[in-house]
């Protein structure tokens, strides 16, 4: 369907497979950009949101409060749009099977230059020389492998996930690292770019640049004020979020905003967001 193509890149990927998308969190609230990630549960036949609750500890953080805020937001989205299946990393990352898989991958990645360098590229440069800098990417790989063994055949994520996916792809090459056939048949899909109000590329679920993002729970006046300073690129992106949400909620077709600009575009965006997300989420529509 047309609306689906406004959330993910549909080229060459079998979206009929059992799929998952890892969703993170951060300080400052839950961005409105998580809405289309949730809505994939209404557009795909066998889709799960993976809450990466265990990963804050790898950054030396206590993410308990942030995870709770995300879970509450997702609960509310379930009530508004219908339930999307959800799984938390804490459900399996402490199991014996996961630990065995993790240890095998950790040993292989750390002792091979190519794999170790690929994993290191996923780490912010200022942290790359830390003693435990590879714990995060190695656990990312292990989580995907664990889910693949549990029947998932499609990993979906933002474009930034490609650096992690490269490690998986190399591990699967010709078995030279002892993992021949590893995640064989696993496919990767990518969500379309997300933008802050000023038009900068952002990770949908990370609320960095809080003042430059619309957050779930913002009231209508806050949203209107924020839209008043949004770039045209951001406005067209946000219009898509609102229209896709309205399609899922009411079956309304997407409005034509692509050739609009200025106040006309801003008006269409505000209407689409209010009708499709803000009022339903806040309980007013």
Q: What does the pLDDT average to over 208-236?
A: 93
DSSP helix/strand/coil, 213: coil
pLDDT tens, position by position, 184-214: 889 999 998 999 999 999 999 998 877 899 9
pLDDT tens, position by position, 26-68: 888 999 999 999 999 998 989 999 999 988 777 667 678 889 9
**pLDDT band for position 174 (50/70/90)?**
low
Share of the chain above pLDDT 70, in %: 90
Q: How far apart are CA 183 and CA 215, in angstroms?
A: 36
43-55 burial: b if 16+ Cβ within 10 Å, else e: bbebbbbbbbbbb
Identify the bridge partners of residue 31 per DSSP, sorted by sequence position: 215
DSSP readout, 3-19? TGGGTB--TT--TTS-E
- Name the pTM for this structure: 0.91
Identify the bridge partners of residue 156 per DSSP, sorted by sequence position: 21, 189
Domain boundaries, the chain: 4-190, 208-282
The CATH class, in words, for 4-190 is alpha beta
Q: How many helices (DSSP H) and strands (DSSP E) are in the chain?
A: 10, 7
pLDDT at residue 1 greater than cutoff 50: no
**CA dist 177 to 106, 117, 138, 146, 168, Å?**
12, 15, 15, 18, 11
């Amino acid at each position: 369907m047309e609306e689906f193509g406004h959330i993910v890149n549909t080229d060459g990927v079998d979206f009929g497979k059992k799929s998952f998308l890892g969703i993170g969190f951060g300080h400052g609230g839950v961005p409105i950009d998580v809405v289309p990630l949730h809505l994939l549960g209404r557009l795909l036949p066998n889709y799960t949101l993976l809450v990466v609750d265990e990963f804050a500890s790898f950054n030396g953080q206590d993410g308990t409060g942030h995870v709770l805020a995300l879970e509450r937001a997702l609960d509310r989205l379930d009530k508004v749009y219908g339930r999307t299946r959800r799984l938390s990393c804490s459900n399996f990352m402490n199991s014996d099977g996961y630990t065995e898989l993790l240890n095998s991958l950790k040993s292989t990645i750390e002792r091979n230059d190519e794999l170790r360098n690929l994993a290191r590229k996923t780490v912010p440069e200022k942290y790359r020389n830390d003693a435990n800098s590879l714990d995060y990417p190695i656990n990312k790989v292990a989580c995907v492998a664990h889910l693949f063994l549990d029947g998932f055949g499609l990993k979906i994520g933002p474009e930034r996930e490609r650096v992690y996916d490269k490690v998986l792809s190399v591990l699967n090459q010709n078995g030279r690292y002892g993992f021949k056939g590893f995640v064989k048949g696993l496919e990767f899909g990518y969500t379309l770019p997300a933008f802050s109000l000023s038009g900068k590329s952002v990770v949908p679920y990370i609320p960095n640049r809080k003042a430059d993002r619309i957050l779930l729970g913002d009231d209508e006046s806050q949203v209107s004020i924020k839209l008043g300073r949004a770039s045209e690129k951001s406005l067209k992106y946000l219009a898509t979020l609102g229209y896709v949400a309205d399609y899922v909620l009411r079956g309304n077709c997407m409005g034509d905003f692509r050739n609009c600009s200025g106040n006309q575009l801003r008006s269409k965006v505000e209407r689409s967001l209010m009708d499709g997300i803000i009022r339903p989420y806040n309980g007013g529509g």
